[in-house]
């Protein structure tokens, strides 16, 4: 039975099914109260979780998101059932931390994570088209490094207790959230009652959706970045079926539920964002695409890997928490929400350039063409 299920989920049909379920659950989450425009943006929710833990104090950006907890625990459940829950790590952990930080910074600057970008496109936000283009440029650059031998190093087995760190951390967060545990009323976890963090689906819906997605994605290896990377690197396009199913299902769900709203900020109008903001936002998407590609997967994939015992992915996730803190503590943008354009401050532009230089340097420095096979 287990083998049969595994065969089905890892087939093209399983990938399409997983993508469709993600698209459907994103619509349901939005209908039940999650921020409009996506329903499920992992970068945005990790930004909220970073704020809830006190890493930043931005109004509208502090909330324990049950979906993030569910994504990790769902992956853990699947890995335990199918014998893939194994502790490993040691593949350039410090580099992965900074890649996570810059991936978060770039994603927050424009439309959110790869998953959120495509869900926003399915919801009618046409600004996501520019974000997709930026993401593709970043992936293309990253794949170029891979073709010349880029490698962050091999992972090594680790003591089993290491595999439990992320799942247990998420379980503790869940208990704190459910029982509203805190030292005092001024202590963490924090919750901002301004949008978008004030908007959330009920706990049981968010947690259930996260567990379902985490379980399916762990089995199918669903990854937004990996899908396009594999096409460019080796012509393997199976995962594109999953992305297509997700977008189609989300679009249909938004249409039926009345959540489909076409919108685009036109340049040159009074309420529009200037060309420079679009340029910086585009470069932010490039930075996110490049950092995710070099690290081996999108924001969701990193959570799924952390749930099955990958310590390097866990470090990447905490790097993303650090990136969110940097964005808001240093006022790199003048807004709390992903999914919009503009608000990027001068220092924010500088950090984008620094992030791109960092990723390009790592891409060049970590090539292993000189090693003897």
The whole-number pLDDT of residue 245 equals 98
Whole-model pTM: value is 0.95
Sign of the Cα torsion 298, 299, 302, 304 reads negative
Total residue length of the chain: 373
The whole-number pLDDT of residue 312 equals 98
Please report, in tens digits, the pLDDT of each residue of the chain (373 residues total). Answer: 778 888 888 899 999 999 999 999 999 999 999 998 889 999 999 999 999 999 999 989 999 999 999 999 999 999 999 999 999 999 999 999 999 999 999 999 998 999 999 999 999 999 899 999 999 999 999 999 999 999 999 999 999 999 999 999 999 999 999 998 887 778 889 998 899 999 999 999 999 999 999 999 999 999 999 999 999 999 999 999 999 999 999 999 999 999 998 877 544 343 456 788 899 999 999 999 999 999 999 999 999 999 999 999 999 999 999 999 999 999 999 888 787 788 899 999 999 999 999 999 999 999 975 454 4
Give the integer Cα–Cα distance in Å for 153 and 93. Answer: 10
Q: Give the contacts of 238 (CB within 8 A, at least 6 positions apart).
A: 12, 15, 230
Domain boundaries defined on the chain: 2-365
Helix (H, G, I), strand (E, B) or coil at 88: strand
């Amino acid at each position: 039975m287990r083998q049969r299920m595994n065969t089905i989920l890892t087939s093209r049909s399983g990938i399409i099914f997983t993508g469709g379920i993600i698209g459907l659950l994103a619509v349901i989450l939005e209908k039940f109260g999650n921020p409009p425009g996506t329903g499920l943006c992992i970068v945005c929710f990790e930004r909220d979780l970073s704020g809830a833990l006190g890493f930043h104090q931005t109004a509208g950006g502090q909330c324990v998101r049950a979906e993030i907890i569910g994504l990790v625990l769902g992956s853990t459940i699947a890995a335990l059932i199918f014998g893939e829950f194994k502790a490993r790590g040691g593949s350039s952990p410090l580099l992965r931390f900074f890649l996570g930080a810059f991936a978060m910074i770039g994603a927050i600057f424009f439309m959110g994570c790869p998953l959120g970008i495509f869900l926003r496109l399915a919801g009618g936000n046409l600004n996501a088209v520019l974000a997709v283009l930026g993401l593709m440029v970043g992936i293309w650059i990253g794949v170029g490094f891979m073709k010349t031998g880029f490698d962050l190093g091999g992972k090594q087995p680790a003591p089993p207790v290491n595999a439990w760190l992320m799942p247990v951390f998420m379980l503790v967060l869940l208990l704190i959230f459910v029982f509203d545990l805190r030292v005092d009323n001024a202590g963490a976890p924090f919750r901002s009652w301004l949008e978008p963090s004030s908007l959330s689906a009920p706990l049981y819906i968010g947690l259930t959706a996260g567990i379902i997605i985490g379980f399916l994605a762990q089995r199918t290896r669903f990854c937004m970045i990996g899908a396009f990377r594999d096409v460019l690197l080796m012509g393997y396009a199976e995962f594109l079926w999953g992305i297509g199913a997700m977008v189609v299902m989300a679009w249909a769900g938004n249409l039926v539920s009345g959540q489909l709203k076409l919108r685009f900020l036109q340049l040159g109008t009074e309420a529009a964002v200037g060309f420079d903001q679009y340029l910086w936002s585009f470069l932010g998407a490039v930075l996110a695409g490049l950092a995710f590609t070099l690290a081996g997967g999108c924001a969701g994939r990193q959570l799924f890997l952390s749930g099955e015992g990958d310590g390097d992915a866990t470090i990447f996730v905490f790097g993303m928490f650090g990136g969110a803190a940097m964005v808001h503590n240093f006022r790199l943008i003048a807004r709390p929400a992903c999914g919009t354009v503009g608000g990027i401050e001068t220092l924010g532009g500088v950090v984008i350039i620094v992030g791109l230089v960092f990723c390009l340097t790592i891409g060049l420095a970590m090539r292993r063409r000189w090693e003897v096979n």
